[in-house]
């Protein structure tokens, strides 16, 4: 019985040491300003800014690839707080506008007749939707119901 306890204790200690060494070897440094800027944003992870989420937007702000007013959900207060962290001036955020390079919508030709669930997500799962234009509007209005932009 005591042998089992000693063995499990030694195994746990060895695993702890290995994990501690691995944590130091594989440590990835992250600029602390990224977390500070991300805390200034709304935290909705909505993608309204054009980035995949608030963390990606904060990383772009710190890298200089985006302005502090990138968060359109957070508004002017969010932009001012992010600008204060970065030490720059801020302007008003403008919501991004959609640009579709094809005619899309009802004018695009149909690839097939869709008879499934009437949501954009369900139709897009079927070969990207029934329209020939892959980036145009599918037309069921999921985006209108879900997004305030």
32-86: CATH number: 1.10.15
pTM score of the predicted model: 0.53
Largest CA distance in the chain: 78
Reading the chain (149 residues) residue by residue, the pLDDT tens digits are 899 999 999 999 999 999 999 999 999 988 899 999 999 998 888 888 888 889 999 999 999 898 888 888 888 888 889 899 888 887 655 665 666 566 656 677 788 888 888 888 888 887 777 777 777 777 778 877 777 65
The residue assigned the tokens 């991004």 is: 96
Write down the domain spans for the chain.
32-86, 100-149
Quote the CA–CA distance of 125 and 35 in Å, as a whole number: 35
Q: Which residues, 6+ apart, have CB-to-CB distance to 149 below 8 Å? A: 48, 72, 95, 96
Six token digits for residue 66: 């985006």
Quote the CA–CA distance of 146 and 141 in Å, as a whole number: 9
């Amino acid at each position: 019985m005591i042998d089992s306890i000693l063995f499990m204790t030694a195994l746990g200690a060895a695993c702890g040491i290995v994990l501690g060494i691995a944590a130091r070897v594989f440590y990835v440094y992250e600029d602390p300003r990224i977390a500070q800027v991300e805390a200034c944003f709304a935290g909705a992870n909505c993608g309204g800014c054009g980035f995949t989420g608030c963390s990606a937007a904060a990383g772009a702000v710190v890298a200089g690839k985006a302005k502090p007013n990138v968060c359109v959900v957070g508004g002017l207060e969010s932009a001012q707080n992010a600008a204060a962290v970065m030490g720059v001036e801020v302007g008003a955020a403008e919501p991004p506008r959609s640009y579709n390079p094809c005619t899309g919508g009802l004018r695009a030709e149909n690839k097939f007749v869709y008879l499934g669930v009437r949501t954009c997500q369900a139709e897009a799962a079927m070969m990207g939707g029934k329209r020939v234009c892959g980036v145009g509007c599918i037309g069921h209005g999921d985006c209108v119901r879900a997004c305030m932009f």
